[in-house]
Amino acid sequence: MYYEKDAERGAEATFLWLMEELGELAAALRSGTKEELGAEFADVLAWLTTIANVKGIDLTDEIEKKYGSGCPGCGKVVCDCPEGTKI
């Protein structure tokens, strides 16, 4: 919906917008309503998707490749990796 504007702005400048939205999400997590949280989660996802689009990445395909068969670490649908393990 905003590809032309986002492509013109570039991935680096668009990333700054994502960071702003993450800050708003952090504030909503501390004291926001469920509706405010939902709106901020949607904004973060939209800006992340926008950056992927600008960089020519199909985010849906990448998520499917990495997580479509379960956890990339243990391979299970419900992760069984040891606590503190970063995938």
Q: What is the pLDDT of residues 23-77, one digit of tens each?
A: 999 999 999 999 999 999 999 999 999 999 999 999 999 999 999 999 999 999 9
For residue 3, the model assigns a pLDDT of 87
Distance of alpha carbon 73 from alpha carbon 82, whole angstroms: 10
Phi, psi for residue 74 in degrees, rounded to 5 = -100, -15
Q: Where are the domains of the chain?
A: 3-56
- Other C-beta atoms lying within 10 Å of the C-beta of residue 12: 9
* pTM, 2 dp: 0.84
- Does domain 3-56 fall under CATH 3.30.43.10? My reply is no
